[in-house]
Structure 1
């Protein structure tokens, strides 16, 4: 079960529905892929989607890190020693978490495929199915409502609305959604660091009866601003850009807690291993978990889903990152049933290359 072959490549994946967030417009995404093959012919695949504006890494730095580090660390090594191998990769690729995530996911997939069971059953299954939200970017009210109706027809019952450009328009958008959909749709908001402290208070007071929670309202480093808010606001606020790794999670665990929810993204923290470390920390602190994503291949979405189902702190999913890809390199990975995500019974991540 020794790793004999490592393949690394990148793909530009166009989106069927480009979107706008508080600081950029996105119409395609480059993903890196890692394929590991052992001496028995078993294969594991991983994928990484760098977010330079969040973690500081580019697709070029990630590709360079993978090409330089994977062969020396993994070639000829037994996949059963995956935790020791991941620790070595973590030490060598600290500055490129999306690259690390691609290697981490591939190694986990290879391990579970070799054993012949779904990955979550190795990690320790807690959940069988959870609902995911579906995201709507910043756009006009008419366009937003049209898109929301499309998602409702597809069976989704949780919307995540991107905000952060204009607080008054954001309030109007949320309240229009609530007026039209009432209890048929739960509404979450992702401000992507777009509010000042006073703007967030204004937004929260005006929309609190319509919202499930608000993701990353203030700038990533403004934990003092978050801690100045009353407990009921902090409890309904989720950390995204403020939460990058297990180390930065510690900064969010000094009382009073700035956030009541952690959004774990494998691309920020470096993969399934570090993600579950954050999950354990949150669980002990009584903080709820949402597992989120960038625009990603089914490969890494499936990796996040298996990790999410292995934590008892998991309450929310935002794993819609592969649904708007015009093409992908794999099929399978999970079952989507009226907004519910379910792992397959196939070994590993349950993905199949096209």
Structure 2
């Protein structure tokens, strides 16, 4: 079953994001969508919505890379040879994880359709039919954040991720304000996006210790693995890594050095589901828990993450998958089922999300 065609399209969609230690939020974002077709007419779809400040990719350039570099590397290949496809993408051009993630998702979608199986079965598991999702708070005034927590709880979310890293005093006050208003009925995780110094991170962890955070995500700069090791050894709070985890090799090194309790899994960092499942295997072996994060993607991108979560019980924390963080949709695409703080894992073959007819018609790779 040979790959006969690859299509790519960049689309700008309304999509409010969160204020973080990186800077201000945005009201529109560019998303990359791809389709991969085989000679028998089977078509798989994938999404790779980048975080430019995070990985350096932007969707318009991703569309060109997909068409001019990655499509030629895939055309004529066996669509069932996932490892071969991943290696072909690696040889064609390094990095570009979000673009690769979109194409790999499309291949899983295609394979699932051919086999009549949902993608999580191809990934090796079916341990969940629903996935609990967390809500999120940007860096905003405390009174605004508290109102947001109340809204998230009313929508069924039981975990709140708060962005920190710009002002330790404000961050500590907010943690205690949430605990005072909501008690321990809501789980709290804090994400500094590498915005703290070692001293600031230690202070924050120490001053919120009684609040029992679920975990403290990327407190230090991505390169400071030794700092993460020392902070984790303090025993003040579990440590999660995000910006420090961009590859299979990163995962191995972090696990070997004991730098994290939690891996934040983002397909756009790792190059897609195939490599992500290998990172999950390292986590399984090392006793590290995982959280799937894809906050600004449409139903297509979110579905890929749901299938990954359903493939392993190492995903012990609520995922961050669109709902409760942002809301973005492609007209004509059916939304995923969300109720009581949980998203339903699609049971249809492949990823379980179809794109509108003619969506890729203007652009062929």
The TM-score, its normalising length taken from structure 2, stands at 0.90
Supply the distance in 1 between the matched residues of 2:113 and 2:201 (Cα, whole angstroms): 46
Mean Cα deviation higher: 216-225 or 291-300: 291-300
CA, structure 1 residues 18+271, in 2 after alignment: closer, same or farther (shift >3 Å)? closer
Supply the distance in 2 between the matched residues of 1:18 and 1:304 (Cα, whole angstroms): 19
Mean Cα deviation higher: 23-32 or 274-283: 23-32
User: What is aligned with 1:6?
Assistant: 6
Contact 2:215 2:238 in 1 (8 A): yes
More strand by share: 1
What is the DSSP-based 3-state SS (H/G/I as helix, E as strand, rest coil) of the residue aligned with 1:327?
coil
User: What is aligned with 1:184?
Assistant: 185
User: What is aligned with 2:202?
Assistant: 201
Q: Residues 288-299 of structure 1: matches in 2 within 5 Å?
A: 288-299=289-300
User: What is aligned with 1:117?
Assistant: 117
Give deviations 1:272-292, integer Å, cap 9, x for gaps.
011111111111111111111
User: What is aligned with 1:63?
Assistant: 63
C-alpha RMSD of matched pairs (Å): 2.0
Contact 1:245 1:269 in 2 (8 A): yes
| Structure 1 residue 25 corresponds to structure 2 residue 27 | no
Contact 2:33 2:48 in 1 (8 A): yes
Supply the distance in 2 between the matched residues of 1:250 and 1:192 (Cα, whole angstroms): 21
Contact 1:295 1:322 in 2 (8 A): no
Give how far 1:78 is off: 3.1
Give how far 1:329 is off: 5.1
User: What is aligned with 2:361?
Assistant: none
Supply the distance in 2 between the matched residues of 1:205 and 1:44 (Cα, whole angstroms): 48
User: What is aligned with 1:352?
Assistant: 354
Q: Residues 1-354 of structure 1: matches in 2 within 5 Å?
A: 1-15=1-15, 17-27=16-26, 28-128=28-128, 129-210=130-211, 211-231=213-233, 233=235, 236-255=238-257, 257-321=258-322, 324-328=326-330, 331-332=333-334, 334-354=336-356
Unpaired segments ≥5 residues, structure 2: 357-365
Give deviations 1:180-217, integer Å, cap 9, x for gaps.
11122111111111111111111111212321111100
Supply the distance in 1 between the matched residues of 2:331 and 2:44 (Cα, whole angstroms): 14
Give how far 1:233 is off: 3.6
The TM-score, its normalising length taken from structure 1, stands at 0.93
Supply the distance in 2 between the matched residues of 1:30 and 1:21 (Cα, whole angstroms): 19
CA, structure 1 residues 273+227, in 2 after alignment: closer, same or farther (shift >3 Å)? same
Supply the distance in 2 between the matched residues of 1:254 and 1:234 (Cα, whole angstroms): 21
CA, structure 1 residues 230+75, in 2 after alignment: closer, same or farther (shift >3 Å)? closer
Give deviations 1:136-174, integer Å, cap 9, x for gaps.
111111111111111111111111111111001001111
Supply the distance in 1 between the matched residues of 2:158 and 2:53 (Cα, whole angstroms): 30
Q: Which has the higher contact order (CA 8 A, sep 6+)?
A: 2
Unpaired segments ≥5 residues, structure 1: none
Give how far 1:18 is off: 4.0
CA, structure 1 residues 267+18, in 2 after alignment: closer, same or farther (shift >3 Å)? closer
Give how far 1:333 is off: 6.9
